[in-house]
Amino acid sequence: MEIQIHPIGKSRIDEVDFNNLAFGRSFADHMLIAEYANGAWQSMTIQPYGPLSYQPAMMSIHYGQSIFEGMKGYRSAKGDVLVFRPEENFKRFNKSAVRMCMPEIPEEIFLGGLKKLLEIDNAWVPNKEGCSLYIRPFMFATDEYVGVSPSTTYKFIIFNCPVGSYYSKPLKVRVETEYIRAAKGGVGFAKNAGNYGGSLFATQKAMQAGYDQIIWTDAATHQYVEEAGTMNLMFMVGGSLVTAPTGDTILDGVTRKSVIQIAKDWGIDVQERQLSVKELVSGILDGSVTEAFGAGTAAVIAPIQTIGFEGKDYQLPDKKDSDFSSKVFTEINQIRLGEIEDSRGWVWKV
Ligand code: COI
């Protein structure tokens, strides 16, 4: 499919302070837009990032057919643009699409369109330590109709943001035992907008109580640790890496699976199993739980310092360079920057 290109008249790049990048507040010059209608993807356009105009009855706003992905691009020392495992995000995007009755996207648009977009906005990929270009592909229903049914038209868009860290300090998280994020048979594994909207109320309450994030527990019993919504959760328990198994309720995170692979390659025992909050708390108290951290594209590896449960705060040991989470962060960072050999074939060079 040919890409129509309408370049920006004058780049906005000089308006951005690359030395003080927040997460998700600045937007690169261009975006890619593909349109779906009459049962097929019709066109692909690259045009300046900017407002789009839609009807108030656009279905995605009312009934939530809206999915997204998150990826990151990095500037290598040689000046290349490297994207971390975008094929995994492509596959997951289509799983989300199927679950939400939306059309799957061809690789030619998701990865082919992204490649062209990154060639055009190459200058927006930061080269400062800790910074990257956050890539946000998303798709939403565009039919103008108030009945509840799958839309027949969709837009797929990719825009990019030069970003700094998502979390800037070790986190204080609270185990949520009242509200739920996802239930068996639901859409928790899909990256649909509603999962995030549904998480805001409980997260806001935790923040008002002085926490940064929530640990979601299973909907049926509230006994088992699930994920954090913005990232998967991982723990070092007695020298083993423990994380909840993916399924209906947990996002199959790309950083999660990368951490698991690296741990296995390093000979560390990995247990994808249910971890009860009881086991977690008693493990913190008896010292067998030595690390807790989140893993996600935006968050990368986010160490957890404090876990709140039933009104009490439990402290994890201070983060050390010899921790698994510190070492795995360094390994992932070096792979995505092209600083060490990419023996697993994870890096996609634009
Ligand atoms: C990501 O890690 O890319 C996500 O989609 C999480 C989002 C909360 C920024």
Q: How many Cβ atoms from other residues are within 10 Å of residue 316's Cβ? A: 21
Q: Does residue 269 contact residue 241 with C-beta atoms inside 8 Å? A: yes
pTM for this prediction? 0.95
Q: Does residue 337 contact residue 72 with C-beta atoms inside 8 Å? A: no
CA of 96 to the centre of ligand 1 (A): 15
| Nearest of 215, 209, 212, 208 to residue 178 by alpha carbon | 215
Q: How far apart are CA 48 and CA 31, in angstroms?
A: 6
Ligand 1 pocket test target in 89, 212, 297 with most atoms within 8 Å of CB? 297
CA of 133 to the centre of ligand 1 (A): 13
Establish whether domains 3-163 and 171-336 are of one fold.
no
pLDDT digits (tens, 9 = 90+) for 98-108: 999 999 999 99
CA of 72 to the centre of ligand 1 (A): 10
Domain 171-336 has CATH 3.20.10.10: yes
Q: Does residue 41 contact residue 163 with C-beta atoms inside 8 Å? A: no
What is the domain partition of the chain in residue ranges? 3-163, 171-336
CA of 229 to the centre of ligand 1 (A): 8
pLDDT at 136: 98
**E strands, the chain, in order:** 3-5, 30-37, 40-48, 66-68, 71-75, 81-84, 132-141, 154-163, 171-175, 213-215, 232-237, 240-243, 270-272, 289-296, 300-309, 312-315, 347-349
pLDDT digits (tens, 9 = 90+) for 246-290: 999 999 999 999 999 999 999 999 999 999 999 999 999 999 999
Question: Both ends of the chain: CA-CA distance in Å?
Answer: 19
Pairing outcome for strands 289-296 and 232-237: antiparallel
The CA distances from residue 298 to 149, 189, 316, in Å, are 32, 17, 23
Ligand 1 site, CB within 6 A: 70, 230, 296-298
Q: Which fold has domain 3-163?
A: D-amino Acid Aminotransferase; Chain A, domain 1 (3.30.470)
Ligand 1 pocket test target in 230, 251, 257, 258 with most atoms within 8 Å of CB? 230
Give the atom of ligand 1 at the shortest distance from the alpha carbon of 299.
2
pLDDT digits (tens, 9 = 90+) for 72-124: 999 999 999 999 999 999 999 999 999 999 999 999 999 999 999 999 999 99
Give the atom of ligand 1 at the shortest distance from the alpha carbon of 69.
5
